[in-house]
Amino acid sequence: MNLTIEQITQRFKKALSKDGDFPASARVIAELQKLANDPSSTAQQMTDIILKEPSLGTRILGIVNSAYFRRVKPVLTVSEAVIVLGSRQIADICASLLILNKFSSNANDNLKLALQKCVFTGLVTSGFQENSCHELGFLLGVFRNLGEVMLFYYFPEVGMKLKQISNSKNISFEDSFRLIFQKDLIEVVVDVFDVLNLPKYYRDTLKATQLIINPRTTMTVSPQIVEKAKYLELSEEIARNVVEGKELDLMTLPDKYQGVQYNQIVKSVELAFSSLDKFEEVANLDFSNVRLHKTKYIPESGSHFSKNEQLLEPLKQAISRNATTATLLILATDILKSTFNRVILYLKAKDQPVLKIRIFEGNQKGFDESNTEVPLTEEHILTDCLKIAKPTFPPHGLFPDSYPVACIPVGNIKVPVAVLYFDRRESVESCLEITDREKDLIQKLHLLINQSLKSAS
């Protein structure tokens, strides 16, 4: 192999630069353009499509974090990028990145395997830790395997030789890369990130994987980042064995990755398999040879959202005692405080067609809650949810740092009672998305309170 590590790094940087040639699927572009022209489409619909193509998520995050957009805080997820740029601009950016050849067509077998591992690592990583951001975890998994994907795409002969070394010496592909080039493939990926303007969070987490792979490695990284890197490496090991059709006993992993519970591992793997249908066209995913041992797995009692039932119990008891609507709303505010930074209860003012703040939990500099009212006759995120009489998830909140945002209506626009507004503040460290468990909690809160109103009337 006459190729040098510097040549590989420079080729990867060129591929991911502004005028690079890292491919995206024409089918995905067409779907995005269709959504951008549909006023009823949502940011989440666009995000789901973009995440099917590893190259698109990578490039979009690089663009939105570039100096051109001058973001004060880095954008960590594609869904936030869609909200920041807007669906029309996102669709146009994706179209400008289009190269007609697809990953899933005319790809050699090694590239297909690398893509499968890319997707599956992301799916497993996203399944860990119920309250973490699933999309952020997925992107970490994609970035973790970006080097192998690009190597097989741009240097298939080199990739083939490294694969042969890997098979003959019974070592991983990355070990064979390190053996030949005296550098970790993940280090090459981190170097390439310089041209992508990706948030420091991703670079730090990928670097920290070296602490997991080689405990003798020394670097200064926060414990939180090391924890993320541990789950990422665990996901990588699972994905590698799954894609290569090797036998893997999940019960051995908690001892290797200290602090990770066996039930966590099994649930994340099962979630990954259940999500594969979203990526069925990526590199012709086929895991028919999977052999994972989990014979001693005993499911936890209760549903996946059992924590919600615990949170809602005081509210249910109050309803059974025929508590007043005011009491129920106060209890609902307390429940939402357990997850969100700010919770505001707006009540319909007596004899006036306006909503006024009754409870404000959280801090906002310069916000005068005593002088804030929302006329029911005006267009507003609070009146919008009363119109449809269902919980809503507006793209923008009441404050500059509001995201994500949700509103629960009590009553409707004809008979308004109250609106519960709640949000989280933008943060580099925490998840910006409302999780499936939180959505379940929001829906159940809405049903409980509004059904109690119907019963009382």
According to the 3-state scheme, what is the secondary structure of the chain?
CCCCHHHHHHHHHHHHCCCCCCCECHHHHHHHHHHHCCCCCCHHHHHHHHCCCHHHHHHHHHHHCCCCCCCCCCCCCHHHHHHHHCHHHHHHHHHHCCECCCCCCCCCHHHHHHHHHHHHHHHHHHHCCCCCCHHHHHHHHHHHCHHHHHHHHHCHHHHHHHHHHHHHHCCCHHHHHHHHHCCCHHHHHHHHHHHCCCCHHHHHHHHHHHHHHCCCCCCCCCHHHHHHHHHHHHHHHHHHHHHCCCEEEHHHHHHHCCCCCHHHHHHHHHHHHHCHHHHCCCCCCCCCCCEEECCCCCCCCCCCCHHHHHHHHHHHHHHHCCCCHHHHHHHHHHHHHCCCCEEEEEEECCCCCEEEEEEEECCCCCCCHHHCEEECCCCCHHHHHHHHCCCECCCCCCCCCEEEEEEEEEECCCCEEEEEEEEEECCCCCCCCCCHHHHHHHHHHHHHHHHHHHHHC
Write out pLDDT tens, residues 282-339: 545 555 555 555 433 333 334 445 677 888 888 888 888 888 888 889 889 989 988 8
Q: Which amino acid is at 28?
A: V
3-state helix/strand/coil string of 386-444: HHHCCCECCCCCCCCCEEEEEEEEEECCCCEEEEEEEEEECCCCCCCCCCHHHHHHHHH
Q: Which homologous superfamily does the CATH classification assign to the domain defined by 306-456? A: GAF domain (3.30.450.40)
Here the tokens at position 435 are 């999780």
Q: Which amino acid is at 344?
A: I
CATH code for the domain defined by 101-293: 1.10.3210.10
Give the model's pLDDT for residue 238.
92
Q: Which amino acid is at 334?
A: D
Q: CA-to-CA distance for 209 and 211, rounded, in angstroms?
A: 5
Higher pLDDT, 84 or 132: 84
Query: Cα 272 vs. chain centroid, distance in angstroms?
Result: 13
Write out pLDDT tens, residues 425-444: 765 445 567 877 788 889 99
User: Residues near 138 by Cβ (< 8 Å), separated by ≥ 6?
Assistant: 51, 122, 123, 125, 126
Tokens 């807007």, residue located? 86
Maximum C-alpha span of the chain: 82
Q: How many CA atoms lie within 13 A of 258 on its CB side?
A: 3
CB 84 within 8 A of CB 119: no
Here the tokens at position 202 are 């991703």
- Tally Cβ neighbours within 10 Å of residue 214: 10
Give the model's pLDDT for residue 302.
42
pTM attached to this predicted model: 0.60
Q: CA distances (Å), 374 to each of 339, 381, 384, in order?
A: 25, 10, 12
pLDDT at residue 104 is higher than 60: no
Instruction: Out of 60-69, 239-248, 252-261, 412-421, pick the least confident.
Output: 60-69
Give the model's pLDDT for residue 237.
92
Give the model's pLDDT for residue 267.
83
Q: Which amino acid is at 62?
A: G
Higher pLDDT, 127 or 427: 127
Give the model's pLDDT for residue 313.
86
Query: Cα 123 vs. chain centroid, distance in angstroms?
Result: 10
User: Residues near 193 by Cβ (< 8 Å), separated by ≥ 6?
Assistant: 143, 202, 203, 206
pLDDT at residue 150 is higher than 70: yes
CATH 1.10.3210.10 residue ranges of the chain are 101-293
CATH 3.30.450.40 residue ranges of the chain are 306-456
**pLDDT confidence tier of residue 100, bands split at 50, 70 and 90:** very low
Give the model's pLDDT for residue 68.
61
Here the tokens at position 153 are 């795409």
